[in-house]
Homo-oligomer: A and B are copies of this chain.
Amino acid sequence: MASTSAGDAIDLSGFFADLVRCETRLYNALNDRLRERHGIVTSQFEALRYLRDHPGSRVADLAAEFAIGIGATSKSVDRLEKQGWVVRQPNPSDRRSSLLALTNDGLKLVDAAEGTFTERLAELIGDTLDGPPMSTVAQTLSELRSVLERDQIGMPTG
């Protein structure tokens, strides 16, 4: 009687624990490598990469992408700006907000860090989990993410 069409109810707590623990350890491991080689951490790399790939974004766009608060995002941009990797440019169509852009240094940094990031990620999971099961996981997480984003689940207040 194993494996009904709906699947025997999954241990959601266990699943969640595994999800969080994988995320924590991968994030930590990537932080170590990125800090060592480029002096940034994963969250900074992700922000810079997002800005490279989405020119003209505003603070609110970053916040929505990463599901962190607007305030936190603003401070995070302050720090990137202080390092000279990002600039706030006046937004001609709304003076309340700024358009964010990478500097040349910022661009060089992301491009360099991307190699490190990808390589380390492959070491961490590419070599270990491969093939069909991994595809399923990737696709399922992608769907779950879409649903969570569609329903605005887990967006911080500020």
Interface residues of chain A, those whose CB is within 8 Å of chain B, are 3, 5-7, 10-29, 32, 46, 66-68, 117-118, 121-122, 124-126, 128-145, 147-149, 153-156
Contact = CB atoms under 8 A, between A and B. Distances in A.
A69 to B, nearest CB: 10
30 contacts: A10-B138, A11-B138, A12-B118, A13-B117, A15-B125, A16-B26, A17-B46, A18-B141, A18-B142, A18-B144, A19-B19, A19-B23, A19-B26, A22-B148, A25-B153, A25-B155, A26-B148, A27-B154, A28-B67, A29-B153, A32-B154, A125-B144, A128-B143, A129-B140, A129-B143, A133-B136, A133-B140, A136-B136, A136-B137, A136-B140
Contact of A134 (B10, B29, B66, B67): B10
Contacts of A145: 18, 21-22, 25
A141 B22 contact: yes
Contact of A126 (B12, B23, B125): B12
Contact of A19 (B17, B122, B141): B141
